[in-house]
Structure 1
C-alpha cells in the first residue's frame, strides 16, 4: 500500500490542473470489532467488477477528477495490517469529502466483504 504512488498516478491525470484537493482513506485491521470482541484477524474478499462500477459512479460525481483504490484482499490479515486505500481527487473540499464518503460506503456495501473474521477465544 503506497499512498505516495497513488497520488503520483493522480498527478499524471490530464485534468490534474482542475484538482484542488486530494483526500485519502486508509483502513487497517483493528483490535476490537464493532461489537467489542477481541479480533485476531480477518480476510476481505473483493468483487473487482462491482468495485470498478462503484469507482465509475464516484467519477461521475460533480468536480471529481480521479479515484484510486487498493485492497489487501484474499488473505488473512492481522491486527495493524492495511486493508484498503481509497484516494479521491477533485476540485474542492465539499465535492471531494462527499465523494470519498459515498464511495467508501458503496464499496463496503457491494464491492468488498469481510469473508471471515477471527476472534480471540474466551
Structure 2
C-alpha cells in the first residue's frame, strides 16, 4: 500500500480511496470516509482583496506528526495527507485530507481537528494581491 503522507503528486482521490479499500481490514473498520480538497481562493480572507498568487510552505515533519496523532484517535482507521507548497494561483490544489473511520461521530470531528491543526501548525501562506 502507498505511503499515507504525500507531497506534490496531485492526488487522485478516488484512486487513493480504492487503494485503501484493498486492505482486508478496511471493511471491518470503516463506515465513513471524509475528504477535504483545499484550493487557492481568488480573494483574501481578511479584506476580500483580489489574490493573484500565494506562496505556501509546508512543514512536512509537523504534518506527519499531526497525521499520526489523528490516526490514533478513537475509531480512526487511516489518515492520508497531501500538501502542496510553492507558488500557487487561484484554483490550484493546496491540501488533500482523507480520514477513514468507523462512524460519523468519530470521523467528522477528526477531520475538522486535522484540518485546523495542519492549517494552524504546519502550513504558512503569503498572499500576493493585485
Same fold by TM-score, threshold 0.5 exceeded? yes
Aligned residue pairs total: 118
Q: Over aligned residues, Cα RMSD in angstroms?
A: 1.2
Quote the Cα distance in structure 2 between the aligned partners of 1:46 and 1:12: 29
- The structure-2 alpha-carbon separation of the partners of 1:26 and 1:47, relative to structure 1 and needing over 3 Å to count, comes to same
Structure 1: state its 5+ residue gaps: none
TM-score w.r.t. structure 2 length?
0.85
The superposition leaves residues 37-96 of structure 1 with CA deviations (integer Å, 9 ceiling, x where unpaired) of 1100102111111001100110111100000011121x2111111111100000011111
The aligned residue for residue 100 of structure 1 is 111
TM-score w.r.t. structure 1 length?
0.91
Structure 2: state its 5+ residue gaps: 1-9
The structure 1 segments of at least 4 consecutive aligned residues displaced by more than 2 Å after TM superposition are 12-15
